[in-house]
Amino acid sequence: MTTTPGRFLSLEGGEGAGKSTQMRALSAALRARGHDVVETREPGGSAGAEAIRRLLLEGAADRWTARTEAMLFAAARADHVARTIRPALAAGRWVLTDRFLDSSLAYQGGADSIGADQIRALHAIGSEGLLPDRTLLLTLPLAEATARAAARDAGHSDRFGARDAGYHQRVADAFLALAHAAPARFRIVDATGPAERVTERLLAAIDDPA
């Protein structure tokens, strides 16, 4: 029996980029190729991190300060890494996560102005700096993403639902800047058009050598 080495992949993007649909399609496609895939998400992905997720997503919009939020995301990530991601990679499995560190860099670090250095410092403490082997950034024009997110969230918005267009633009800009600063790890993937085409683009971006 051959051993497939584990690989760590993250899927990133703003709200409404189609991450959930693509997570399912991509996991199925990778499993069809014979990989043992762990499908996970942030905030969450382990029992402790899911408990922190509830603290983050439920309640009033002003429940936490931006700094407290950044630390809660980092704490959730630390548990997710220690309890789910590292054990899976050590066992030779592929890990596909819906959001990871780059979400904290784009939302808290960029849009909330905490700064990338401080977010990276929290990540060094919490998760010993673990980075994905490949990060897939789904991009969509903001108007289209907003329309998709509104249709999806009708009637059940979380604490972050009320952010304005300026905020989402800052998130999108921060994601693109991160991708351009780390071209070996990132691939920018166009999320427009039929979902099947987007999945094909994602698979090509995974196959693309560093």
Q: Which helix (H) or strand (E) holds 136?
A: strand 134-139
Nearest residue to ligand TMP, by Cβ distance, number only: 107
73 interacts with ligand TMP by CB under 6 A: yes
Task: Write the DSSP string, 106-135.
Answer: IIIIIIT---HHHHHHHHHHHHTT---SEE
Nearer to ligand TMP, 86 or 163 (CB): 163
Report which of 101, 104, 102, 41 is spatially closest to residue 67, judged by C-alpha positions. 104
Q: Cβ of residue 20: shortest distance to ligand TMP, in angstroms?
A: 8
DSSP label at residue 84: I
Q: Confirm or reject binding of residue 79 to ligand TMP (CB under 6 A).
A: no
Which of 7, 93, 99, 123 is the binder for ligand TMP (CB under 6 A)? 99
Nearest alpha-carbon partner for 101 in 207, 201, 22, 8: 8
Coil, helix or strand at residue 192: coil
Of 79, 174, 177, 81, which Cα lies nearest the Cα of 132? 81
Distance in Å, CB of 209 to ligand TMP, minimum: 28
Site for ligand TMP in 25-54 (CB under 6 A): 42-43
- Indicate which single residue of 11, 88, 97, 107 sits in contact with ligand TMP (rule: CB under 6 A): 107
Determine if 160 is a binding residue for ligand TMP (CB under 6 A).
yes
Q: Among 10, 11, 15, 168, which residue interacts with ligand TMP (rule: CB under 6 A)?
A: 15
Neighbours of 30 (CB within 10 A): 20
Task: Please pick, from the candidates 40, 104, 135, 199, the single residue that binds ligand TMP as defined by CB under 6 A.
Answer: 104
Which lies closer to ligand TMP via its Cβ, residue 79 or residue 98? 98
Q: Does 103 bind ligand TMP (CB under 6 A)?
A: yes
SS3 label, residue 78? helix
Residues near ligand TMP, by CB under 6 A: 15, 42-43, 73, 98-99, 103-104, 107-108, 160
